[in-house]
Chain A
Amino acid sequence: MRCEEVQDLASAWLDNELSEPRAGVVAEHEAGCDACHAYIADLRLLAEQMAKYGREPAPPDLEERVRVNLAEEQGRSVIPETRPGRWLPPATTQWLTSMAAVCILSIFGTWAVVRPPGTIPSTQHDVVAAHVRSLLQNSTIQVPSSDSHTVRPWFAGKVEFAPPVKDLTAEGFPLVGGRLDYVDGHRVATLVYHHGLHTISVFVWPETAASASAGPARVEGLNVLSWTKDGMVWWAVSDMEPGELKEMRALL
């Protein structure tokens, strides 16, 4: 074995980590080679020096401080839920929170725009718009008649259902006539009643799975009331009092 190789292996040989037969070869070579003997003596000396001076003493209070730290860490980790934001700086947590809020608002905003038809706000909007539009035009009705037997056949062929038409003149709500409106993407039958100086639009269409009714509401100065009865969805819009609307609902 060459001196170079011996000196490469000398370190492991000194550490008793060199297996046979190489350990024996190194020992034999060292005994007969001055250069390698001197090299290995140097390594022994350095090892002694390292063992003697290498240990850097820890500060006397380090153990106590580590104990305190560990106790704190343990106390905090007992209930992990009590350390929010532990892994994130507060600024990041705040930022994430506000971003989450923006996301949620955005989701609801999008839902409000693209939500399926038949839900209350869009229906309510449609019936109120239809009622107001009818008041803006020359006539609120397309078929003028106080006779339910005239109004009812008029709807035939114009809508796919037969709307229940009642004349409530005796009860103080004279039937004025009927018209067609467009609510929630469908043609619906609209009955127009009067009550004193008030005009009432009563929208009616067959109930579907998507149909929904809501409690009384006040939209743009108008009272809105909706209900379902006999498989039909009813919406009444008028500027008359909510109590009178309910009274009328009971009659229809």
Chain B
Amino acid sequence: MMIRSATEANRRAAKGFEQQALPHLDAAFSLAFWLMRDRADAEDVVQDAYIRALRAFGGFRGENMRPWLLAIVRNVAWRALAVRRRATNNVIPIEAAYTRPGDDDPEPMTIASDEPSAETRLIEAGDRALLTRALDTLTPLFREALLLREVEEMSYAEIATVLGVPQGTVMSRLSRARAELRLRFKELAQEPRPWKDDKHAV
């Protein structure tokens, strides 16, 4: 009888958790992906994070679910990154990152032949692949802050919850992240090098 009622309570809690947490699955996956930079790793992180979140759900007191959940995703991802750093010392050759495997003759990126102003070039070159490469050059600390702000449109208070830092830190980190992203974006836009985006699902 005790076990049955405990089971019932457990089931109800799990149901409540699913209803509140599953709507944020896309945000969770996106955050995990931008930290791990690998879809399979991101899936593992999300699975692990949801299990951990369910276990911790008893301590969730009805505050905002999304920052609470994303904080767990973020912690799991950073742990996975630390493990990966310890496990692999090999660096991906830069050419491999620029071309698809088996792509012997990558098409050169078409760039404007005349010399436009830096601002114009920034706008013209703006596309998904360029953004991705620019983000890749940033530290994950900057990537996650930018993602939570620009994509998830979280307030500084919410971002502070996810990252576990004061709001003032969120403010300065975002400022530095944007300045850094802008520089990298400009550099890459001027780069005549052929490159392809092969990390993203369309």
By a beta-carbon cutoff of 8 Å, the part of chain A in contact with chain B is 7-12, 15, 17, 38-39, 41-43, 45-47, 49-59, 62-63, 65-67, 69-71, 73-74, 77-79
B124 to chain A, nearest CB (A): 11
A-B pairs with beta carbons under 8 Å apart, 27 shown:
A7-B179, A12-B171, A15-B149, A17-B155, A17-B171, A42-B182, A43-B178, A47-B150, A49-B126, A53-B132, A54-B147, A56-B33, A56-B34, A56-B201, A57-B29, A58-B25, A58-B26, A59-B43, A62-B25, A62-B43, A66-B46, A67-B22, A70-B17, A74-B11, A74-B54, A77-B55, A79-B7
Assuming the contacts A11-B175, A45-B123, A55-B151, asked whether A69 and B30 have C-beta atoms less than 8 A apart, the reply is no
The answer to whether A69 and B201 touch across the interface, beta carbons within 8 angstroms, is no
By a beta-carbon cutoff of 8 Å, the part of chain B in contact with chain A is 3, 6-7, 10-11, 14, 17-18, 22, 25-26, 28-30, 33-34, 39, 42-43, 46-47, 50-51, 54-55, 119, 122-123, 126-128, 131-132, 146-147, 149-151, 153, 155-156, 171-172, 174-175, 178-179, 181-182, 185, 200-201
- Residues of chain B within 8 A (CB-CB) of A59 are 29, 39, 43
Task: Please report the C-alpha to C-alpha distance between residue A39 and residue B118 in the assembled complex, in whole angstroms.
Answer: 11
The answer to whether A11 and B26 touch across the interface, beta carbons within 8 angstroms, is no
The answer to whether B26 and A38 touch across the interface, beta carbons within 8 angstroms, is no
Task: Please report the C-alpha to C-alpha distance between residue A73 and residue B123 in the assembled complex, in whole angstroms.
Answer: 48
The answer to whether B29 and A56 touch across the interface, beta carbons within 8 angstroms, is yes
Assuming the contacts A11-B178, A46-B182, asked whether A57 and B26 have C-beta atoms less than 8 A apart, the reply is yes
The answer to whether B128 and A46 touch across the interface, beta carbons within 8 angstroms, is no
The answer to whether A38 and B174 touch across the interface, beta carbons within 8 angstroms, is no
The 9 closest A-B pairs by CB, nearest first: A50-B150, A58-B29, A54-B151, A11-B175, A53-B128, A56-B33, A74-B14, A56-B30, A78-B7
Q: Which residue in chain B gives the minimum CB-CB distance to A63?
A: B25
A217 to chain B, nearest CB (A): 48
- Residues of chain B within 8 A (CB-CB) of A56 are 29-30, 33-34, 39, 42, 200-201
Assuming the contacts A10-B175, A11-B175, A56-B29, asked whether A50 and B146 have C-beta atoms less than 8 A apart, the reply is yes
Task: Please report the C-alpha to C-alpha distance between residue A46 and residue B11 in the assembled complex, in whole angstroms.
Answer: 44
A75 to chain B, nearest CB (A): 9
Task: Please report the C-alpha to C-alpha distance between residue A78 and residue B39 in the assembled complex, in whole angstroms.
Answer: 32
Q: Which residue in chain A gives the minimum CB-CB distance to B15?
A: A74
A45 to chain B, nearest CB (A): 6
The answer to whether A45 and B150 touch across the interface, beta carbons within 8 angstroms, is no
- Residues of chain B within 8 A (CB-CB) of A42 are 119, 122, 182
- Residues of chain B within 8 A (CB-CB) of A50 are 131, 146-147, 150-151
The answer to whether B171 and A11 touch across the interface, beta carbons within 8 angstroms, is yes
